Structure 1
Amino acid sequence: MSKPRSTDNNHLHLGCFFPAGQTTFLLSDEAVRRTPPMTRTNLVAFAEAAEQVGFDSLFIADNWSGHQRISEESKHQGPSYHAALLAMALFAVTDNIGVISTIHTSYHHPAHVARMGATLDAFSGGRWGWNIVTGFLEQEALLFGDTPVEHDERYRRAAEFVDVVKLLWSEFEPIDHKGEHYSAAGRLKAPRPVQQPHPFLINAGASPAGSAFAAKYADMMLMMAENEERVREVDERLEALTAPLGRSVATSAFCVSIVREGEGEAQEEWDRLTTSINLAATKELATDIVGGVESMQDIFAKMGEDEATRAFGSAGSTIHLVGTAEQVAEKLISLKQNTHATGAFINFPLWSAAELQTFAPVLPHLLDAGVWQPPNTRDYSW
């Protein structure tokens, strides 16, 4: 039996960004050299440390195409393990932490995701979340023998996709769906998801079409935002969309973090890492990602190409949690108190099990401020 969903928005959900390559937001060659190999032993240790420290969830990003050769060969974007398969491995070595898998609607049939999601959720005892993405890269579409689909049309198709998945999860009698894009007849083989009414659904769409999709389908919306002002802008747009639907959708911002004990030590570490940004890999990734993600276009639009490239490679679309434990806690407390954000998904540029332990001293400050509770003291999971 899974734990109930939280209805208390006074507390932060702390998500940990699982390594999806040697680097994610901070494309530093020194970070590549100083992070451990992405082996079973190191990734399992990272997941176990995240649970021990007190994170609510692990977030696994994913994509399909290997066309980003510079990024892959320099190890910034590789290896990248299949998110749903990796989630099952992480469930086997953890007991309480949630695991969120990125799964594309454009490259599956709804029955595929319904079956995968039901298996992951049932096996984990209700700890699985689905990060719903449509897929925007032309190279990914071509990999599946498809042609790229226009942006807003992808979200229209994704809406029908999720409707069918939820129908297969909830109905125990055979369904007979004949829609505009998908057909499905019959019933899903057991098991079914443990979470009710469905597993935790996450989306990061910030465009008008993406935001409308999140307002209707997501339990939480993830956002690229470099400061609290940007977070408030996204919150206000989303609330305008959810109010007529009678829904409330939580929001969380992507962050990067380095915590060190001594004054100025974390900033010195950050400065060392940013002096070795791989500009070739950054330009390759920026061409793909900024070109397809409207929220990032907004952030970098006013910059010149060189400035935007370096900003992108230096995690310029995220909130920076760099400092002592007390300083980082102050930033998270401010985020909670001065925006409507209910969470933060944190990437560690120097990821390792040991690096996660440096974040542990932040949590007592959050507890004292009343914006966080240890997961093992709660009666809810998400």
Structure 2
Amino acid sequence: MTTDHERAVKFAYWVPNVSGGLVVSKIEQRTSWDIDYNRRLAQTAERSGFEYALSQIRFTAGYGAEYQHESVAFSHALLAATEKLKVIAAILPGPWHPAVVAKQLATIDQLTGGRVAINVVSGWFKGEFTAIGEPWLEHDERYRRSEEFIRAVKGVWTEDDFTFKGDFYRFNNYTLKPKPLQQPHPEVFQGGNSAAARRMAAAVSDWYFMNGNSLENHRAQIDEIRTAAAAQGRTVRFGVNAFIIARDSEDEAQQVLHDIVRHADTEAVHAFGHAVKQAGSASPEAQGMWSNSKFEDLVQYNDGFKTGLIGTPEQIARKIVALKAIGVDLVLGGFLHFIEEVEYFGKRVLPLVRELEEAGATAETA
């Protein structure tokens, strides 16, 4: 039986383990990529009702992200500083082998009482791969490799004498002990807008992260993947990216958005846009991530402005419940000034979401 807690929309935040914050802008951000700040942020988020945190993976500098802490080690540090928060470590097939990830995460899961997950990132930045001497595969091949990666990791976590014969990975009677505490295994997240990404989500992932978008486009993605997963006897849960600007008045929130875009690092935004759109155009349908993003959208890495969680606590809470009504299970939030805004969200927005959920609010009444 599904409990009220399981039905309630969940909240996650982007871990700022990469310098530059979550917007490609020269506006002041009272956010830091260092570990002391991030420990305090994780503890604040946990107290404020957030259940997940997502660490980022970057291997090279660019677009304002001059410094990057490695995701798995950083995630473990945040888990050690908290008691309930689950941290999702971003993993990039290519640099990581599934056997290494399976063993790393099984150990962390054991050490933290079952509070770690992974987000498998198929890769969009060619320069990052070439800089570290990793082969750069064609678009759909990257997703095919990621699907094998997930099948291999799940197999290692759940089977003894695991054998797997893929095009990218091979295992021969491999047994991992100890296995993770979480049953059947730690959760596996992924993102991506292309047809290959959606097929992969339906086939192997537990969660599908969507970039910011309109309610109608989110509904279409959810319906497509849910139908494809059901045909394979599977279910997938859905998370949506949103850059959240919650203020006491709508005018104040909109002014913050205006200021972020006005202070955008124009050169960095254009460089980022060129890189990601080049990667997306390499998909057979030329419809990868960010394919329809304008300059203003690209100021936030994952189209977070498009989700529209910008306004008063009441406006944002109603939009979140509208997202829940179309099938969104988790909201992944980015913020300008993380600690103070996560705390504000927990005090002012999240209680309103719970009240609306309890009242049975729907997308039509929200």
Q: Bin the TM-score by the shorter chain.
A: 0.7 to 0.9
- Deviation at residue 260 of structure 1 after TM alignment: 1.8
Paired residues, number? 350
SS in 2 for 1:264: helix
Question: How far did residue 247 of structure 1 move?
Answer: 1.5
Q: Distance in 2 between matches of 1:9 and 1:39?
A: 33
Closer, same or farther in 2 for the Cα pair 1:299/1:9, shift >3 Å?
Answer: farther
Q: Is the 8 A contact 1:205 1:214 kept in 2?
A: no
Unaligned runs of 5+ in 1: 301-307, 373-382
Measure the CA separation in 2 of the matches of 1:137 and 1:316.
14
- Asked if the contact 2:269–2:298 (Cα under 8 Å) also holds between the matched residues in 1, the reply is yes
Q: Are 1:138 and 1:147, in contact at CA under 8 Å, matched by a contact in 2?
A: no
Match of 2:289 in 1: 296
1:325 aligned to which of 291, 303, 313: 313
Pair 1:198-2:185 in alignment? yes
State the superposition RMSD in angstroms: 2.4
Q: Which is worse superposed, 134-143 or 182-191?
A: 182-191
1:378 is aligned to: none
What does 1:1-382 align with in structure 2 at a 5 Å threshold? 10-23=7-20, 25-30=22-27, 33-66=28-61, 68=62, 71=63, 76-172=64-160, 174-185=161-172, 187-293=174-280, 294-300=287-293, 308-313=294-299, 317-318=303-304, 319-337=307-325, 339-351=326-338, 353-360=339-346, 361-370=348-357
Post-superposition shift, 1:137? 2.4
CA separation of 1:34/1:159 partners in 2, compared to 1, >3 Å: closer, same or farther? Answer: closer
Report the Cα offset of residue 8 of structure 1.
7.3
Q: Which of the pair has the greater relative contact order for Cα pairs under 8 Å at 6+ separation?
A: 1
Amino acid at match of 2:110: A
2-structure distance, mates of 1:194, 1:51: 21
1:232 is displaced (CA, Å) by 0.9
1:282 aligned counterpart, secondary structure = helix
Q: Give, in angstroms, the shift of residue 118 of structure 1.
A: 0.7
Aligned partners of 1:145 and 1:348: how far apart in 2? 34
Of 141-150 and 88-97, the range deviating more from structure 2:
141-150
Moved more, 145-154 or 290-299: 290-299
* TM value normalised by structure 2: 0.88
Q: 1 CA distance for matches of 2:116 and 2:73?
A: 12
Unmatched tracts of structure 2, length 5 or more: 281-286, 360-366
Measure, in 2, the Cα distance between the counterparts of 1:6 and 1:148.
Answer: 44
Shift of 1:29: 0.6
Q: What is the alpha-carbon distance in structure 2 between the residues aligned to residue 108 and residue 27 of structure 1?
A: 28
Tell me the TM-score normalised to structure 1 length: 0.84
Shift of 1:143: 3.2
- More moved, 160-169 vs 200-209: 160-169
Greater shift, 151-160 or 190-199, is seen at: 151-160
**Structure 1 position 7, deviation (Å):** 9.5
Deviations 1:146-191 (A, max 9, x none): 331111122222222222222221233x444443322233545533
